[in-house]
Structure 1
Amino acid sequence: MAQQIADRFDDLDGLVDLAQLDAWLKTRTGIGSGPITGVRKLTGGLQNSVFLISRGKEDMILRRPGKHLKPKSNETMLREARVLTALEGSAVPHPRVLATCADPDVIGACFFLMEPLEGFAQSGDLPGQYATDARWRRAMGEELVKAAAALGAVDPVAAGLADLGQPSQWHERQVKRWRSQLEGYAVTPGYDPGELPHVNEVGRWLADNLPTDRRIGVVHGDMQFPNVMFSLKAPKISGVLDWELVSLGDPLLDLGWILSSWSEPDDPEGKAPMVRPWDGFQSRRELVELYGALSGRNMSEMPWFFALACYKLACLLEGTYAASKAGKVPANVGESVHGYATWLMTKARQIIAD
């Protein structure tokens, strides 16, 4: 039977040992029955690989690290599964975890299975009624904020996630943390961290204007359109995806991340809207007001979190640009990512000047 399963599908680039997976599934209950009847690789993030697995009449999503494992790839995958499991029963829209495998020998890496969600997660041209109805597009913004506020309301201690990060002095540590990340790329031949503009100016402002209302909660870390699945049946979120950056921090950073992905007429040049068409989406001010109404937080210090989101993401993105200098990433991809990082720092400078 094991050989028959292996022969029915290609090896999926060596990412899934189907015979081993089939044997492992037979030891689990409640996630389909019988042998694997279908496997399809899905498009997803750059860091991880995602597959649609069919077993009998049941479909499930298998999520595992990419082919080239990094030192903490398996640990990160298990943390994702742990967080999603902890969120069960909360108001945060998310896929339900069906099973977790902490044994990398089964398919070559730790993985987890989760329920498939209806809808789409993407940037670019919107599908279905989102493309034709401005009211549906407006609902997308509201749904993003509602999801971020719901996650921000989760008590990490009560959810068993108190050890997810280092909450002590979180706000004070942010500038140094991400500046160190940026400067670490300097070991790459051909890369100069000084190519990213406004780093010193924005960093000083963030360090000198720490918010007085400081909270610690669960932070998704990459809350934006490509990581959120929207239903095609109604203008709502089916689930938030891609939790590999989840940690403890101030939940307002997730809202800052959403704002950084937004587009408004007075933004710096050089960035197109993340999804199209863009008309119908609300302003950043409206998003902030909605989050405040949902969370009860004082939103007057939101510019700090908006600027921090731009600063952090720009520093992270420069890693791809540095990799392109070393020939590990196509040059055009590196240049494109560097252009976005430059836009983010230019936007951060605009925020702190207001």
Structure 2
Amino acid sequence: MIDTDRLTTWLDETGLVGDGSPPKITFVSGGTQNEIYEIERGDLHGALRIPPPEAPESRDDGILREWRIMEALEGTDVPHPPALAVCTDKSVLGRTFYVMGYVDGWSPINVDEWPEPFYSDLDARQGLAYQLVEGIALLSKVDWQAKGLQDLGRPEGFHERQVDRWTAFFDRVKAREVPGFDEAAAWLRAHKPIDYIPGLMHGDYQFANVMYEHGGPAKLAAIVDWEMGTVGDPKLDLGWVVQSWPEDTSGGAGTVAGYVDMTGMPSRTEVLERYSEVSGRQVDDMDYYTVLAKWKLAVVLEQGFQRAGDDIKLQSFGPVVLQSMQEAADFAESSDYRG
């Protein structure tokens, strides 16, 4: 629950006055990591993002991290929520929080089927895919050093740390055998990208973490949920997107991540070509990023499965982990990539 009086005082002191009336605060969504509230106050229309009281203290650092990235994106071509104000004084609401501009759009994670015109017009639907991949292509071009984000990540040794870090993580959480882990990890240690140009990356890029403007043609309104953002290899974002993207998207193409109907979408090859065209980066080494993305996804989801208890959603991660890890190993074995 947000303390309206304290928030009002802070809004006034920060200059987010609107018409000076008490703000209307509406809970939008939230869980164990963050909560989001809509704020309306005259011409001020924003969204407040804050960790819940029971979240670990590290989430305050995560909130500040998100804020720094969104603030750095001001003046770039990357669609993002406007950064309005941040508060690190925990005497205000008990946790670090920020206020961003409210994004008027829709998210694929919140709809049961593509809204019109994207439901009936497959040509229009293709634009959703191209806009998705163009978002991270534009993100990869941001001059992170000029934006003062030198301390956001450690780009040196990024790929070597990926394998070491997530192997150690997996060893801590696993309580069963997951076939394919060792094979995929060994392949990743034996290979590397053709080139590596450090850049700003989202870290969990997918349809669930973008918003589109209403109506057609497709236009990305904002990339959201920046808690995994860092300076590393932006092409891992691309690998995250295409690791399960089908080459053939004709009728019956099925879904990606269990929530997106891929029928009529551009092929995997076409998506990669669009990324390369917009970003200026080559994509001839995508086998490496595909293996890494599938392997890492399995490792991340295994933690959720191991702590599932009676949570049906987390229980469903179990077979997904086994499938993704085996796909990583099989893809590595069948790949002719020699990088």
Relative to the length of structure 1, the TM-score reads 0.87
Summarize the alignment of residues 257-336 of structure 1 with structure 2, pairs less than 5 Å apart: 257-260=240-243, 262-263=245-246, 272-273=255-256, 274-324=258-308, 327=309, 330-336=310-316
Q: 1:170 aligns with which of 149, 158, 162?
A: 158
Q: 1:103 aligns with which of 89, 98, 101?
A: 89
Q: CA deviation at 1:263?
A: 4.2
Q: 1:216 aligns with which of 181, 185, 198?
A: 198
The answer on whether the counterparts of 1:216 and 1:250 sit within 8 Å (CA) in structure 2 is yes
**Partner residue, 1:79:** 65
In structure 2, C-alpha distance between the alignment counterparts of 1:33 and 1:313, rounded to whole Å: 46
Q: CA deviation at 1:231?
A: 1.0
Runs of 5+ unmatched residues, structure 1: 1-13
The answer to whether residue 188 in structure 2 is matched with residue 206 in structure 1 is yes
Question: One-letter code of the match for 1:167?
Answer: P
The answer on whether the counterparts of 1:52 and 1:59 sit within 8 Å (CA) in structure 2 is yes
Question: One-letter code of the match for 1:165?
Answer: G
The answer to whether residue 129 in structure 2 is matched with residue 149 in structure 1 is no
In structure 2, C-alpha distance between the alignment counterparts of 1:276 and 1:241, rounded to whole Å: 18
Summarize the alignment of residues 54-203 of structure 1 with structure 2, pairs less than 5 Å apart: 54-123=40-109, 124-186=112-174, 191-192=175-176, 194=177, 196-203=178-185
Query: Match of 2:276, SS?
Result: helix
Q: CA deviation at 1:179?
A: 1.1
Q: CA deviation at 1:265?
A: 5.6
**Partner residue, 2:331:** 351
Q: CA deviation at 1:35?
A: 3.1
In structure 2, C-alpha distance between the alignment counterparts of 1:242 and 1:276, rounded to whole Å: 18
The answer to whether residue 211 in structure 2 is matched with residue 225 in structure 1 is no
Identity of aligned residues (%): 34
Question: One-letter code of the match for 1:76?
Answer: G
Relative to the length of structure 2, the TM-score reads 0.90
1:115 to 1:200, Cα distance in 2 relative to 1, 3 A: same
In structure 2, C-alpha distance between the alignment counterparts of 1:45 and 1:345, rounded to whole Å: 27
Query: Match of 1:340, SS?
Result: helix
Q: CA deviation at 1:347?
A: 2.7
Q: CA deviation at 1:30?
A: 4.4
In structure 2, C-alpha distance between the alignment counterparts of 1:56 and 1:342, rounded to whole Å: 51
Q: CA deviation at 1:294?
A: 1.8
Q: CA deviation at 1:164?
A: 0.4
Between 299-308 and 40-49, the greater mean CA deviation after superposition: 40-49
Residues 72-114 of structure 1: CA deviation (Å, up to 9, x unaligned): 1101101101110011011111011111111122112111101
The answer on whether the counterparts of 2:8 and 2:23 sit within 8 Å (CA) in structure 1 is no
In structure 1, C-alpha distance between the alignment counterparts of 2:17 and 2:99, rounded to whole Å: 9
Q: CA deviation at 1:43?
A: 2.9
Q: CA deviation at 1:32?
A: 1.5
In structure 2, C-alpha distance between the alignment counterparts of 1:151 and 1:169, rounded to whole Å: 21
Q: 1:342 aligns with which of 322, 327, 338?
A: 322
1:35 to 1:262, Cα distance in 2 relative to 1, 3 A: farther
In structure 1, C-alpha distance between the alignment counterparts of 2:265 and 2:108, rounded to whole Å: 16
In structure 2, C-alpha distance between the alignment counterparts of 1:19 and 1:322, rounded to whole Å: 41
Between 25-34 and 162-171, the greater mean CA deviation after superposition: 25-34
Runs of 5+ unmatched residues, structure 2: none
In structure 2, C-alpha distance between the alignment counterparts of 1:38 and 1:261, rounded to whole Å: 42
